[in-house]
A and B are shown apart, each in its own frame.
Chain A
Amino acid sequence: MVTKQRIETTLPFKYESVPEVLVIGNKTVIVAGTTYYRIDASATEEYVPPFLLTLITPITPITHTTPTIGDTREIWGSGCIDLYSTVKVSYREPVRVEEPAYTTVESEFYDLAQQWKQERPCGADVSEIAMHPSYQRIIGMGPDVVPFLLKELEREPEHWFWALNSITGVDPVPPESQGKLKEMAKAWVEWGKKQGYRW
């Protein structure tokens, strides 16, 4: 079952066209342009409650065509494969999405973070991964971006440590935790809270 439905929430990025919300199988998908974003929380087919989307790895569709009745193609990219069998499309008048509730720093950070995760050279070491232009721009955002980096670390440990070290000049990771992703993230989050950062 695929239906278009109203959306009353905000998205961490701006785009030109009004997005569509599709329910495909048991997953709810927001289509912005030709990129599909899977909603983390569960949702009914009739109504998507207002909530702040947790933007997980954007899914690059293998094809860009809109699903049609009877279509059985895979539409998910790598890391998130799903098949839908019966597709039914109905139409409701889409509503204009409100302006994003993110601050400028927050929306810029999430845009850049998303870009970095999609484009970084995954086969390289962290020193080269951190050289990606988006990662460098995040460093260039300076102290204002620190709470968002810490928030992301708390949500999902990731190689943000060089950015944090570059911006703050400190390294709160104890020697016994060096190189251990989750422990490094925990050390930075604890440091941030002690410094008075809030997110």
Chain B
Amino acid sequence: MGNTSYKVTSGPSKEYNCIAWAAGDTARWWSNVPGYWWPTTNRSSFVKSLVDVFAGMSYEICDSTSLEEGFEKVALYEKAGLWTHVSRQLVNGHWTSKLGLKEDIEHESPEVLVGDLYGTVHCIMRKRQI
């Protein structure tokens, strides 16, 4: 990760992953791999499939990571066209991520996680808060 600070906000867990955490679900692991939870019929590793998952939850692509009142935002990551990670914005403008089997962390921006493991930020999506 980059040299921007982050803090660990939970212990490790095998029960849920980054997508689940971004979607507010800590009871399931979301993955296109057979047997795992995937809310669309397009079970694909391509990042478009992940965009479709969040579009199905009323998210739309937007062009800013800034905190906007009334909106929840997520950042989708990809590497070589395949989805790798999702992080979710917090009410304080920071972002939260579940790191695979490891813990949740809070980080200052989506760019903190850009690198060899997660690749780059593919897009930001937002939906109106209920």
Contact = CB atoms under 8 A, between A and B. Distances in A.
A and B held together in a complex: yes
Interface of A: 120-130, 157-159, 161-162, 165, 171, 173, 178-181, 184
B65 interface: no
A160 to B, nearest CB: 10
Interface of B: 12, 14-15, 17-18, 20, 27-38, 45, 84-85, 99-102, 117
A152 B37 CA distance: 22
A19 B20 CA distance: 44
Contact of A122 (B30, B38, B102): B102
Contacts, number: 74
B100 A125 contact: yes
B28 A125 contact: no
A155 to B, nearest CB: 14
Given A121-B117, A178-B28, A180-B28, A161 B36 contact: yes
A51 to B, nearest CB: 27
Given A130-B33, A162-B34, A179 B117 contact: no
A123 B117 contact: yes
Contacts of A180: 15, 27-29, 37
Contact of B20 (A157, A159, A162, A179): A179
A178 B14 contact: no
A6 to B, nearest CB: 37
Given A158-B14, A179-B37, A124 B100 contact: yes
Contacts of B102: 122-123
Nearest to A178: B37
A188 to B, nearest CB: 8
Contacts of A162: 33-35
B33 A126 contact: yes
Given A122-B101, A179-B20, A127 B34 contact: no
Contacts of A129: 100-101
